[in-house]
């Protein structure tokens, strides 16, 4: 993925290519913070294979990728200029970061984060065998999606193909879910996201690590494609 960062509004490419990249990204970003839940599941339910739990978990995130792709293509079809960087793109990206920050403070985020930090009761439920493991993985994945929705929106706003921002978002998720005072850290991250949103909207060129579409940090191929 090196050299693929086209910044905010990155073109998602063909559907099959994007879904393959998306599932790979989610495995790299989410599974490190999900390892304790997988290990807990394997210990609590030896008759249900842990790999099936992981498959269900990734299927939940694949559904998110499908929804994001459809929303992106629909937006490009209905309002192709709304995310144009040289028009209102910086304000759209900044606004998305502010929305992501506000989401961090919602009851839904809090409830999902608490589940992710202590999933024991949920993992004890579920049907037997592989099918039960997949369903439990899907359910746990749904909670994880609710926990990380704002951060995923931030990733799309900053550049969904950026290794730098992927690593930053993955680090925030890891701290929120696994380290002490993760809920307090989530609230601090909310403040940071809102501040970053204002910064991107007002002075995007000064934001470290942000690739401006059409800017000098882009590769020749990206420039040719008009990203």
> 222 lies in a domain?
no
> 207 lies in a domain?
no
> 223 lies in a domain?
no
> 219 lies in a domain?
no
List phi, psi (to 5°) of 123: -70, -25
> 146 lies in a domain?
yes
Residue 212 DSSP label: P
Domain tally for the chain? 1
Residue 87 DSSP label: I
> 211 lies in a domain?
no
pTM of the model: 0.84
**Tell me: the pLDDT tens digits for 194-218?**
999 999 998 888 888 887 776 554 4
**Tell me: the pLDDT tens digits for 119-156?**
998 998 877 889 999 999 999 999 999 999 999 999 98
> 47 lies in a domain?
yes
H/E element, 111: helix 107-117
Do 85 and 210 meet the contact criterion of CB atoms below 8 Å apart?
A: no
User: Domain residues for 122?
Assistant: 15-202
Measured between alpha carbons, how far is 88 from 219 in angstroms, rounded to an integer? Answer: 22
């Amino acid at each position: 993925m090196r050299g693929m960062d086209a910044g905010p509004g990155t073109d998602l490419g063909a559907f099959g290519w994007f879904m393959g990249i998306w599932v790979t990204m989610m495995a790299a970003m989410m599974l490190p913070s999900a390892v304790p839940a997988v290990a807990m599941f394997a210990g609590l339910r030896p008759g249900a294979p842990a790999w099936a739990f992981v498959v269900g978990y990734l299927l939940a995130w694949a559904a998110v990728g499908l929804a994001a792709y459809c929303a992106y293509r629909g937006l490009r079809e209905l309002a192709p200029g709304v995310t144009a960087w040289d028009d209102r793109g910086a304000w759209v990206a900044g606004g998305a970061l502010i929305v992501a920050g506000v989401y961090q403070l919602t009851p839904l985020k809090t409830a999902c984060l608490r589940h992710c930090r202590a999933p024991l009761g949920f993992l004890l439920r579920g049907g037997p065998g592989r099918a039960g493991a997949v369903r439990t993985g899907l359910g746990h994945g749904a909670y994880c999606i609710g926990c990380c929705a704002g951060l995923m929106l931030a990733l799309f706003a900053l550049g969904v193909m950026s290794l730098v921002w992927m690593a930053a978002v993955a680090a925030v998720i890891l701290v929120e879910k696994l380290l002490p005072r993760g809920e307090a850290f989530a609230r601090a991250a909310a403040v940071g996201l809102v501040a970053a949103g204002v910064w991107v909207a007002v002075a995007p060129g000064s934001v470290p690590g942000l690739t401006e579409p059409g800017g000098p940090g882009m590769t020749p191929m990206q420039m040719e494609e008009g990203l």
